[in-house]
Homo-oligomer: A and B are copies of this chain.
């Protein structure tokens, strides 16, 4: 392979001169500059990023950690993040924890070996305790689409106002006149969504009885199963006229079950989702949902992360912090400006919701 040394020899200069030319730093006479450039091209020189990264302690790579890509929400946001990162000349290293905390830790541990400059951690793909552990050692991290609207351990975070999202869903269903309302939720991860929803119902004088809450695990299949459960209480409770699923993917499953039962959406049962994944708009009926501004989420997350990376590389004299002894050697982060950014969700009314036929 061709190294700067090869170029140096060919051009009759020193290695460092070549380095200077290539990096644009330092003063080099135009003549030698051209000569070096000429040979670089001639020999087919290609910089060795490993070597460069080793000496610079930076990789210009960011890890994107997410719990799954089976739920289309993640690929969608992933696409957005990767796109932005690339514009800033960063590579994206994709890590799928498959919703397994142990696996998440293991992957993170591996990545910590100086592989990446920072981490965007999505959903609830990792144990917050593990994350905080790394963050405290100075590792640039940003939580994205985190499920709680508090910043645990001061880790910068950009997420959706999920409480508000729950409220929006409730308001919509109430406005349509629904009173028998059920929820499918991935507890405890999506607790806030449920709370927002519950709060608004309560303000309207409605309680959410346990039989009207079914648990899911965010997968489509679990939405299907949860809906079945909701429709088969039968005993004391009349069946719901509306279902709010705390994500679209489960909502699709719920809708599938409802249709399988021979019921109509929205005539017999209204369904509201949350996320606004692409397919939701293309179903029959198109899904009413609470939309999450994914691009915005992606933008703010990368912004927050790159800011940290820049800061770290400056502070530490171009040496990015790495998990080490983790003791007082590392400068403690000062509490910066509020590291929590909340983006607002919005209601998208489509055709899976309507007024209930009768009370």
Contacts and interface: CB of A to CB of B under 8 A. Distances in A.
Interface of A: 1-2, 43-44, 46-51, 53-54, 59, 68-70, 72, 74-76, 78-79, 82-83, 86, 91-94, 96, 98, 107, 110, 112-115, 220, 252-253, 256, 259, 278-279, 282-284, 322-326
A321 to B, nearest CB: 9
Contacts of A107: 86
Contact of A1 (B59, B220, B322): B322
A85 to B, nearest CB: 11
B79 A46 contact: no
Contacts of A82: 94, 96
State how many copies of this chain the complex holds: 2
B282 A253 contact: yes
- A49, A53, A252 pick with most chain B CB within 10 angstroms: A49
Given A44-B323, A70-B278, A259-B284, A50 B114 contact: yes
Nearest to A283: B283
A355 B57 CA distance: 65
B79 A69 contact: yes
Given A72-B72, A79-B96, A114 B279 contact: no
Contacts of A72: 72, 75, 279
13 contacts: A1-B324, A2-B324, A44-B324, A46-B113, A46-B323, A48-B113, A49-B115, A50-B50, A54-B54, A68-B79, A72-B72, A83-B98, A252-B279
